[in-house]
Structure 1
C-alpha cells in the first residue's frame, strides 16, 4: 500500500507563537520545533504535541492544491466490507459519524478489484450526523454508474442509473414523489399532480400510455353514470374518427318489425322526431354519442331502403296492371271495330 500526501502551499505557512502555534516532531529541534509529548511518536504535528497521524494540523490550512494518493492493487483481499472501506478510504472529512470504522460525514473511497468487488470502483458519499447516507455516487471501471439521493430514513427518493451498456434510468420511487418543470413544488394547481410542466409545452415523440383517463381543459371524466377515458372541454378537430360499435343489419332480419309508413307518420306527429331517434331535448341535455348515433342513422337508412323496395314492388305491380289494362282496351277496341264493320 502506498501512501503519499503532497501539499503545495500558497505562500508561507504562518505560525503565531504567541498563540501557542508550533511544529512538533519526535525529538524536537530548534526553538520553533518542539518535541512531541511522547518522544517515540515520530508523527509531525502543527498545533499539537501529540499527533496521531503522519501529519496532524490543529487549525486551518491554506494551499493552492492538495493531492491524495491511495491505490491498492487489483486482486486485493479484505476480511469484510468494513476492512475494505477503511483501507480504501482516500478522503474522510467532517464530524465522526461511525466510531467502528472512524467514518466521517464526507468520504471518498477507491476500491480495487478484490474478493468483495468483481470490478474496481469508486464511491463518494455524504452522510448526516445520524450516520445516514444522504448522497451517494458509485461507478465501476467499465461498468455501471449510480447517483442516489436518500431521505433521513435511508429511503431512496431519486436514483440515476447507467447499466454499463449505455442504457440510463432515472427513478423516483417514493409514492408521494412529484416532478415540477418550469415552476416550483408549491404551485397550487399542480399540488395534486405527480408531473407538472408549467409555463411551457411538452414534446413527446413516442406513445403516451395510461391505464387511467386523459383530460384536455377539464378534469371531469363522468357524464351521468358513464365514465370516459378521454374528456375534452372545447372543440376537437381530426381527419378521421374510428368508432367500434354494433351495427344496424338487424333491420334486414325477417322478423324485424318494420312499421307501416302510416304508423311512422302518426309517431312523428305525436313526438316530433323519428322512432328510436333521440329528441333535440335529449341531445341538448345528454350529448350525442357518435357510435350509437351512427348506428341509429344506419337503421333509418336501412328502413328507408326497405320502404323503397316495398314501393318499387307496388309500382311494378301497378305497371303490370296498367299493361294488362291497355292490352284489354286494345282488344275491346278491335272487337268494337269488327262489330261496326259487320253491320255495314
Structure 2
C-alpha cells in the first residue's frame, strides 16, 4: 500500500512539474481567470499588469478590424491595423458618444510630428455649432489669415456697363436706411455676422465707386477752372 501511495505521489509531482514548465492550455474553448463562465478566448475578471516596461501587447493581423473595447455596452474602443491606422472612437451604441483628450500637467496636447495633418469634421471651441467647420466663441488672434473668395471681386465697378448711382440717390438711400447701398445694416451684422471675403469685396466696391466719384468731381473742377480763367481774361 505504501508503495502504491509513493508511486501516485511521484505521478502527481511529475504532472505538476510538467504543467509548471509548459503552462499548456486547452486547444479549444474559452479560458477564464476569475470566472467559471468565460465569454471569450481569454476572459479576465480582474486587472492585468505588465510589470516589465519592455513587454508589448500585440494584436497581429492585416485587417482593419482589431478592437480593444471599453465598457460592457462597448461605449468606446481602440482599433487599428499594421497598415498604420490607429483609431480612438466613441462607439455608436454608447450614450454620450464623446471622445476626450486630456492634457498633461503642462496643459499641452500634441498631434502629429509637425508635418502631419489633422482632419476634423466640425470643431467648436467653447461652443457647439455643427453648421460651421470651425467655431470659436470668444475670438481668435493670428498674424496672418487668407480667405478664398467664392463670389466675384469688385473690379466690375470699372467696366463700362456699370451704372454708378448719382450722389443725390446715394444721399437719399443713406438718409432712409442709415447705411450705404449694398452694405448690410448694423442689425443684419449683429444677427448674422459677416463673411470676410464678401465684406472685403463690398468695401472695395465702395472704394472704387468713391474713386470714380472723385474722378468725376476732378473733371468738373478742371472744367470750372477753365471757364473761370476765360471769364477773368474777358474781364481784363
Taking structure 1 as the reference length, the TM-score comes to: 0.48
Match among 164, 184, 189 for residue 283 of structure 1: 189
Give 1:285-300 correspondences, 5 Å limit.
285-300=191-206
Gaps of 5+ in 2: 45-55, 69-78
| 2:119 alignment counterpart | 210
Paired with 2:146 and 2:89, the residues of 1 have a C-alpha distance of: 39
1:235 equivalenced with 2:235 (yes/no): no
| 1:269 alignment counterpart | 175
Say which SS state the counterpart of residue 180 (structure 2) adopts.
coil
> Which structure has more RCO (C-alpha within 8 Å, separation ≥ 6)?
2
Match among 98, 102, 117 for residue 193 of structure 1: 98
Count of residue pairs the alignment pairs up: 198
Match among 20, 23, 27 for residue 7 of structure 2: 23
Structure with more of its chain in strand, by fraction: 1
The question of whether the paired residues in 2 share the 8 Å contact of 1:251 and 1:299 is answered with: yes
Report which of the two structures shows the higher radius of gyration computed on alpha carbons.
Answer: 1
| 2:41 alignment counterpart | 132
Deviation at 1:59, TM superposition (A): 11
Match among 59, 80, 86 for residue 148 of structure 1: 59
| 1:51 alignment counterpart | none
Say which SS state the counterpart of residue 231 (structure 1) adopts.
strand
Gaps of 5+ in 1: 1-16, 25-33, 35-44, 49-54, 67-90, 107-127, 136-144, 164-168, 178-185, 223-227, 331-344
Say which SS state the counterpart of residue 183 (structure 2) adopts.
coil
CA-atom RMSD in angstroms: 4.0
| 1:56 alignment counterpart | 15
Deviation per residue, 1:80-117 (Å, 9 max, x gap): xxxxxxxxxxx3434x3439xxxx959xxxxxxxxxxx
Deviation at 1:322, TM superposition (A): 1.3
